[in-house]
Amino acid sequence: GTDTTTADLAAHTAAHLPAYMIPSHFITLDQLPLTPNGKLDRNALPTPDYNQHTSEGRAPRTPHEEALCTLFADVLGTDTVTIDDDFFHLGGHSLLVTKLVSRIRTSLGAELPIRQLFETPTVAALSAVLGNDTAPSRPTVTAVDPRPARIPLSYAQQRLWFLNRFEGPSATYNIPVALRLTGALDQEALRQALADVVTRHESLRTVFAEDADGAYQIVREPADARPDLHVIETGPEEVEERLRDAARRGFDLSAASGELPFRVTLFEVGDGEHVLLLLL
């Protein structure tokens, strides 16, 4: 009900919010778009164009700053970022901070607390922090060699093993993924692809054994852990129900059962139509 200019609104916002919560852009509209019910139509609101920002910031001075500028631009979806551009003024927010921290960890091998981006939101300031070694490098992950003969269960595996012993085979923790395949299908190539996945991921060929000291892991050799491809003919009207039934079938996680924690079923629905169920 009052005549407020964009500058007034920005000043009022800046006076009452922390710096990282201040909107990076204000757009003046003649009127707000409304739905037929008279409510705000959020989908019709214009999207700020962060690429139109004008900055007199400095260009990267080192390869390290250049890498950070590239990461900033990729995460923000903008063309260029100078070392003096503020991450939040370019449209950054807390979710993008998390994404940027992850990208920095992957690309530069540096661990940063999320709050660091709020304290040093420019490439120049962040580069100085990384250059001062205040952010520890990410330790290299290496496999234990040689692998112990008896591998204990992780905490998550202990829980699965206990519930499996207590309740028997259950579908509580089943993870189904169904894929519709259209066109000619080479089933032998599919079998080879599934075997390749199991070869590369040991968790798909790990079962539980038990001795006097408790439960432990057995990682089967790839040659002994090729997943079976169960092929079932069905009609379009029945495939959904049969998918549901297959996804509800529990696993016996004990090594004695001979079953892997990975089950594959191929439903032949019609000519050139299949549904592939991957069940973990």
Cα–Cα distance measured from residue 113 to residue 104, given in angstroms and rounded to the nearest whole number:
11
pLDDT for residue 22: 58
**Residue 141 φ/ψ, nearest 5 degrees:** -90, 120
Q: Provide the pLDDT for residue 134.
A: 45
Rounded to the nearest integer, the mean pLDDT of the chain is 85
| Whether residue 146 has a cis bond before it, omega within 30° of 0 | yes
State mean pLDDT over 139-168: 83
Two structure tokens written together for 233: 């003919």
CA proximity to 268, closest of 158, 153, 190, 166? 190
Give, for 181, the enclosing helix (H) or strand (E): strand 176-182
Give all domains of the chain, ordered by start, each with its CATH number. Answer: 6-131 (1.10.1200.10), 151-279 (3.30.559.10)
Residues of the chain above pLDDT 70, percent: 85
Using a 10 angstrom Cβ sphere, with 0-12 exposed, 13-18 middle and 19 or more buried, the burial of residue 237 is exposed
Question: In this predicted structure, which of 121-135, 142-156, 179-193 has the lowest mean pLDDT?
Answer: 121-135
Rounded to two decimals, the pTM is 0.52
| Chain Cα centroid distance, residue 241 | 30
Tell whether the torsion through CA atoms of 81, 82, 87 and 91 is positive or negative. negative
- Tokens representing 97? 């901070």
pLDDT digits (tens, 9 = 90+) for 82-123: 999 999 888 888 889 999 999 998 888 888 888 898 899 999
Query: Residue 143 pLDDT more than 80?
Result: no
Least confident of 57-61, 88-92, 134-138: 134-138
- Residues 225 and 247: their CA atoms lie apart, in Å, by 21
What single DSSP character describes residue 62?
A: S
d(CA 80, CA 87): 12
